[in-house]
Chains A and B, each alone.
Chain A
Amino acid sequence: MYPHTLTPVVAFMLQAQPGFDPIRDEIGRLQRNFQGLIWGFVAAWMILVGYTLMLTFRERKIRREMERLKSMVEESERR
C-alpha cells in the first residue's frame, strides 16, 4: 500500500510518522512498479517462446518418425 492510493487522512497519518521519507518511498514505489512491468513482459515472452520451442521439438520428432515409417513401408513393400 502506498500513500497516494490511501485515503488522504490515512496518507497524512503515515506521512506524519517519524522517519517517513516521502521521496524515498516514491522512488521505491516507482522501482517496484518498473520491475513488475519488466517481469510481466519477460514472463509473457518466456511462456510464448517456451511453447514455440516445444512446437519446434515436436515438429522434428514427428518428421523423424514419418521418415522412419516411410522407409519401413518401402522396405516391406520391396520384400
Chain B
Amino acid sequence: MRQKVIIAMLALVAILLARNLYTISMLQDEMRQGQIFRIIYFHVPAAAAAMTGSAVALVASILFLATKNFRYDALAVAVTEVGLAFLAVNLVTGSIWARVIWGVWWAWDPRLTSALICWILYAGYMILRQALEEPTQRATFAAVYSIFAFTDVPIVYFSIRWWRTIHPQPVFFSKEGSFPADWSRALMINMIAIFLLYAVLTMIRLRQEQTQREIDYLRRTLHAI
C-alpha cells in the first residue's frame, strides 16, 4: 500500500514539475534580472521545504524525549536528512544566482551565512548519529542536538528583516511583496511539487530507518542465540 502511495505521489510530482517547467519558461522575464530570476521557482520552495522539515524534526525530537518512542526518532532523522539535500539545493542555486546578479559566488551576508550555518548544524546532526552506537543514547543525544540546531532556523528566516543585507527582501506573504499573480501561481504549483517530493523522499527514508531497526533487533537476537 505504502509503495503504491509513493509511486502515485512521484507521478504527481513529475506531472506538476513538467507542466510547470513549460509555464515558467513562458513567463515574462524579470525587468532587472532577466531570465535568471526563474531560479526562484526552485530556490524558494527548496528552502521552504527544508525549513518545514527542520520544524518537523524539532517536534519529533521533543516528542521522542517525552515518550521515548523510537518512531519519532526515525521521523526526525528522515526529515533532517532529506532537509539537508533540499537546503543544499537552496544554497547552490542561490550561489549561482548570486554569481550572475551580484558578480560573486558567495557573500558573507547574514542570510547566506545563517543558511550555511544551518546546513552545517544539520550535517553535524547526521555525523553525531553515526558516532553513537547505542540506540537509546544515540536517539536522546540526537534529539537534544536537533532542538539546539533548530534555534538557527528563525535566524535564517528573519535575518533579512533584522540586519542590513544584500539578499532581496521577501516578495511573498509580506506587505512589501510585489510578485505578479501568474508568477505567484507558478511558484505555488512548484512549491506543492517540491513539498510532495520532500514527503516522498521522507517516506522512503523513514521506511529504511524502520528496516534498520529490525536489522538491529535481528542482530541482537542472533547474538543472544
Chain A interface helix/strand/loop/mixed: helix
How would residues 40 to 79 of chain A score, 1 for a CB under 8 Å from any chain B CB and 0 otherwise? 1101100110011001001100110110011011001100
Is A37 touching B36 in the complex (CB atoms < 8 A)?
yes
Cα(A72)–Cα(B85), bound, Å? 36
Chain A residue at minimum C-beta to C-beta distance from B82: A51
Name B208's contact: one of A39, A48, A59, A70 (CB within 8 Å). Answer: A59
Residues of B within 8 A of A12 (CB): none
Using C-beta atoms within 8 Å of the partner chain, give the interface range for chain B.
35 or more
How would residues 16 to 38 of chain A score, 1 for a CB under 8 Å from any chain B CB and 0 otherwise? 00000000000001101110110
11 CB-based A-B contacts, threshold 8 Å: A30-B35, A33-B35, A33-B100, A40-B96, A40-B97, A44-B42, A48-B85, A55-B201, A65-B215, A76-B222, A77-B225
Chain B residues proximal to chain A, CB less than 8 Å = 32-36, 38-39, 42-43, 46, 82, 85, 88-89, 92-93, 96-97, 99-100, 103, 197, 201, 204-205, 208, 211-212, 214-215, 218-219, 221-222, 225
